[in-house]
């Protein structure tokens, strides 16, 4: 019926001198309706899945409305699509919708997907490398340049300004002579933009030339000079910012520089290599190096061979943060104005790692190592199968000193699980300490599901130094989940501390977490 009606109306429109529209409509018994204007849109009744709903129809070339269209959810088709068709009609073409394969429609239509909907293009972006710039320590009056690279990604990018924020230190300047089109001077602006094609890069030089020392804080530490570069562009991030930092030191003042070979993060027991060889003094030579460290309270490591060595090593033996500092002195006996600093984070990488440390107040030097005996505490890690005598009188085997199911100094690497040597599923006492404050460290990379492991500490021998205060730290997948510090222990005490359920990793106290069995001496182990 719709096809017959359209043919009849178009016939009448062509021969309007002979027939009136009323007569034509009368051919089908229809009611009289007014002529429409080309491109005019009106709502219409639409039958969709047996339900009457509202659709949209557009007036075409011949003064009549096209067939009513309705979408799948019963609402009218997108008005923009209808308007596009109407505009196409004005141009003498029929605006197309998205093709069935998501390609382009007929003339007048945009890109479409399988539903005929327009696909948004990928937005161009401006990549800045590096994201921030640090000039380190720079002597007053010395010019120091660093490059900032800008790259257009996913399309062309227009840059209309590259400038320093007003709050930036006056020690910073920008050199635009490396930018294409600005070699002879000038800078990008709205009237003279920097246009980057897709994947094209350009560099701007950032210059730090301090004319006075940086201010110092209450600890006499130099505060860095700060700055911010703003790059105005036509991407979705129109005002990209780059932070600047540099510290000005006195001319002729020695500058200490620390390099940590292993980087910023290591695992416990890493022997870290430190370098001070890049330190310098304008017009002179560095001849003294003075190292210091702020380390976790349960760590007693020292610099090797000494804290005055040019490039010392340092054993980062327990988890936590270490802050290394270096002061240098030149031949004129002038020290560096500010010490160099480098932070190192120590994080275990095993599924389970346990650390035991202790403090013995009567030991005047707990950091020394040598043949002289000191307070000696031992870490014990027990498998559920551990047996042995019942010295605590609870009716069950204690498990301590059992072989192979107690991992301790005499049984440091037992075989509890797979016989396959390529599978690292057995515990290891990776560090045993006999003459100081620890740490003793035990690790297990692949615990066995369905097991409950027990953790304890034993005061093997005080060697006359008396009471020690023990601390335990438990890490599960690098996260510190348990801390119990300064538990007082006397000679031969056994501290039954906790259990670890696997695979949950849940840590539970034994008793109140500080349960001590005094005078614990296993008669079958000496």
Residue where a domain stops, chosen among 249, 283, 314: 249
Interval 268-294 mean pLDDT: 91
| Whole-number pLDDT of residue 225 | 94
| Whole-number pLDDT of residue 61 | 60
CATH code, domain with 387: 2.60.60
Q: What percent of the chain has pLDDT over 70?
A: 80
Whether 466 and 369 share a structural domain: yes
pTM exceeding the 0.85 threshold for the entire prediction? no
Q: How many domains does the chain have?
A: 4
Which residues make beta-bridge pairs with 127?
151
The reply to whether 69 falls in a domain is yes
Least confident of 57-71, 118-132, 264-278, 296-310: 57-71
pLDDT in tens, 409-456: 999 999 997 767 777 789 999 888 877 777 899 999 999 999 999 999
Name the more confident of 52 and 81.
52
Q: Is the pLDDT of residue 367 over 50?
A: yes
Alpha carbons within 13 A on the beta-carbon side of 3: 0
Whether 327 and 361 share a structural domain: no
Name the more confident of 67 and 521.
521
At 507 the three-state DSSP class reads: strand
Name the more confident of 218 and 368.
218
Please give the backbone phi and psi of residue 87, each rounded to the nearest 5 degrees, phi first: -65, -40
Q: Is the pLDDT of residue 334 over 90?
A: no
The winner for highest mean pLDDT among 70-84, 162-176, 220-234, 290-304 is 162-176
Whether 306 and 183 share a structural domain: no
The reply to whether 442 falls in a domain is yes
Interval 340-357 mean pLDDT: 92
Whether 391 and 415 share a structural domain: yes
The reply to whether 98 falls in a domain is no
The reply to whether 120 falls in a domain is no
**How many DSSP H helices and E strands does the chain contain?**
3, 30
pLDDT in tens, 140-190: 888 999 999 999 999 999 999 999 999 999 999 999 999 999 998 899 999
Nearest to 377 by CA among 324, 425, 423, 429: 429
CATH code, domain with 233: 2.60.40.10
The reply to whether 306 falls in a domain is yes
Q: Is the pLDDT of residue 38 over 50?
A: yes
- Residue 134 tokens, joined: 């640090």
Nearest to 103 by CA among 87, 115, 88: 115
The reply to whether 254 falls in a domain is no
Whether 235 and 138 share a structural domain: yes
CA angle 161, 163, 168 (to 5 degrees): 160
Whether 361 and 340 share a structural domain: no
Residue listed under structure tokens 């009471």: 467
Whether 29 and 161 share a structural domain: no
The reply to whether 106 falls in a domain is no
160, 187 Cβ separation under 8 angstroms: no
Whether 360 and 447 share a structural domain: yes
Mean of pLDDT over the chain: 82
Whether 287 and 384 share a structural domain: no
Which residues make beta-bridge pairs with 324?
293, 342
pLDDT interval class at 370 (50, 70, 90): low
Residue where a domain stops, chosen among 46, 66, 90: 90
CA angle 326, 328, 332 (to 5 degrees): 170
Please give the backbone phi and psi of residue 149, each rounded to the nearest 5 degrees, phi first: -105, 135
Please give the backbone phi and psi of residue 311, each rounded to the nearest 5 degrees, phi first: -130, 75
Whether 323 and 213 share a structural domain: no
Return the DSSP state at 86: H
| Whole-number pLDDT of residue 245 | 94
The reply to whether 33 falls in a domain is yes
Residue where a domain stops, chosen among 346, 374, 406: 346
Whether 423 and 471 share a structural domain: yes
Interval 398-403 mean pLDDT: 92
Return the DSSP state at 365: -
Q: Which range marks the domain in which residue 31 is found?
A: 2-90
Nearest to 315 by CA among 274, 282, 278, 353: 274
Whether 269 and 243 share a structural domain: no
| Whole-number pLDDT of residue 331 | 87
């Amino acid at each position: 019926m719709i096809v017959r009606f359209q043919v009849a109306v178009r016939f009448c429109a062509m021969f309007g001198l002979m027939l009136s529209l009323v007569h034509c409509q009368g051919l089908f018994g229809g009611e009289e309706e007014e002529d429409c204007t080309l491109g005019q849109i009106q709502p219409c009744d639409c039958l969709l899945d047996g339900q009457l709903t509202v659709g949209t129809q557009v007036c075409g070339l011949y003064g009549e409305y096209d067939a009513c269209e309705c979408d799948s959810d019963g609402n009218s088709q997108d008005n923009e699509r209808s308007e596009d068709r109407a505009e196409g009609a004005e141009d003498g073409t029929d605006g197309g919708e998205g093709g069935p394969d998501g390609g382009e429609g007929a003339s007048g239509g945009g890109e479409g997907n399988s539903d005929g909907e327009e696909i948004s293009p990928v937005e161009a972006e401006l990549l800045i490398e590096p994201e921030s710039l640090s000039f380190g320590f720079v002597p007053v009056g010395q010019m120091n340049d660093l490059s900032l690279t800008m790259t257009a990604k996913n399309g062309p990018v227009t840059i209309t300004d590259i400038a320093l924020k007003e709050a930036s230190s006056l020690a910073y300047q920008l050199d635009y002579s490396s930018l294409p089109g600005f070699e002879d001077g000038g800078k990008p602006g709205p009237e003279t933009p920097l246009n980057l094609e897709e994947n094209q890069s350009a560099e701007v030089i950032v210059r730090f030339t301090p004319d006075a020392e940086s201010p110092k804080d209450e600890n006499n530490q130099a505060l860095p000079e700060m700055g911010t570069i703003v790059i105005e562009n036509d991407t979705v991030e129109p005002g990209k910012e780059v932070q600047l930092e540099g510290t000005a030191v006195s001319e002729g003042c020695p500058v200490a520089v620390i390099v940590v070979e292993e980087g910023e993060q290591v695992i416990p027991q890493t022997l870290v290599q430190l370098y001070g060889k890049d330190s310098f003094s304008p017009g002179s030579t560095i001849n003294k190096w003075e190292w210091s460290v702020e380390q976790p309270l349960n760590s007693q490591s020292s610099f090797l061979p000494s804290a005055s060595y040019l490039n010392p090593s340092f054993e980062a033996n327990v988890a936590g943060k270490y802050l290394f500092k270096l002061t240098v002195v030149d031949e004129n006996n002038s020290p560096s104005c500010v010490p160099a600093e480098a932070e190192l984070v120590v994080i275990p990488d095993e599924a389970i790692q346990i650390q035991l440390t202790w403090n013995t107040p009567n030991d005047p030097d707990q950091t020394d190592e040598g043949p002289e005996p000191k307070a000696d505490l031992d870490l014990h890690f027990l498998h559920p199968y551990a047996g042995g005598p019942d010295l605590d009188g609870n009716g069950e085997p204690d498990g301590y000193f059992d072989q192979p199911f107690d991992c301790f100094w005499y049984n440091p690497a037992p075989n509890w699980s797979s016989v396959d040597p390529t599978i690292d599923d057995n515990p290891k006492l990776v560090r045993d300490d006999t003459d100081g404050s620890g740490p003793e460290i035990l690790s297990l990379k692949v615990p066995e599901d369905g097991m409950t492991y027990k953790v304890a500490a034993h005061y093997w021998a005080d060697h006359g130094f008396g009471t020690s205060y023990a601390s335990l730290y438990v890490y599960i997948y690098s996260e510190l989940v348990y801390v119990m510090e300064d538990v007082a222990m006397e000679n031969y005490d056994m501290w039954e501390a906790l259990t670890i359920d696997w695979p949950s990793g849940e840590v539970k106290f034994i008793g109140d977490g500080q349960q001590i069995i005094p005078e614990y001496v296993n008669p079958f182990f000496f």
